[in-house]
Amino acid sequence: MKTLTAFGALVALAFAAPALAAPEGPTTAPEKIAALTEDQPAAYVTDVKWIDSAEMGAKIYSTAGGDPAINGLYTYLAIPGEMTGDGWKVFQIGDFNEWKILQQEKDYIILQVSRSWVDQASGDIKTVEEKLSVPLVGPDANEITVTPVK
């Protein structure tokens, strides 16, 4: 179920906008392009990974926020609604330095994440890499349990 929802349409529009402004034929001269005047939420999206193994489809994505050196990727699981136009059920998985999908199964994924914190005693930045099992739930779910994997 790869439907285009409001969020998907926004991301698609953000990526398609330069193509829409492209002149017909080859570019022969410099072209000035003004910044858009409205805030562009799609600009905050950093990574989007579609999860093919999920029964109804799903995606993991991040938005940029906070200090990019310490957990600047606010990371989410999004599950599409049952019907086209139902939108997405979104769960914030955590805030990470980086993440990647290691494994995809029908009812869960394994994420490898890196997360940092400031040690209050020493003032040093500490970083840990860990694996998390993230369940792939149906659109009727209201919570998920993310479990560390050894």
Structure confidence by residue, pLDDT tens digits, 6-35 = 445 444 444 444 444 555 777 777 777 787
Please tell me the predicted confidence (pLDDT) of residue 12.
44
Type of residue numbered 37: T
**The pLDDT of residue 22:** 54
Q: Would you kindly state where each structural domain of the chain is located, as residue ranges?
A: 6-21+44-149
Above 70 in pLDDT, residue 1? Answer: no
Q: What is the mean pLDDT of residues 37-53?
A: 85
DSSP, residue by residue, 3-47: ---HHHHHHHHHHHHHHHHPPSS---S----PPPSS--GGGGEEE
Answer for the pair 51, 60: CB distance below 8 angstroms, yes or no. Answer: yes
135 has pLDDT over 60: yes
The pLDDT of residue 30 is 76
Half-sphere exposure of 119 (CA within 13 A, CB side): 8
The CA-atom distances, in angstroms, between 35 and each of 18, 32, 40, 63 are 12, 10, 11, 21
45's CB contacts (< 8 A; 6+ apart) are 11, 14, 61, 62, 63, 64
What pLDDT shows up at residue 13?
41
Sign of CA dihedral 92, 93, 97, 101: negative
Q: Which of 85, 87, 60, 62 is nearest to 73 (CA)?
A: 62
> Does residue 82 surpass a pLDDT of 90?
no
State the average pLDDT over residues 60-86: 86
Amino acid at 44: Y
| Nearest residue to 70 (alpha-carbon basis) of 96, 99, 44 | 96
Q: Does residue 91 register a pLDDT over 90?
A: yes
Q: Return all residues near 1 (Cβ < 8 A) that are at least 6 apart.
A: 56, 57, 80
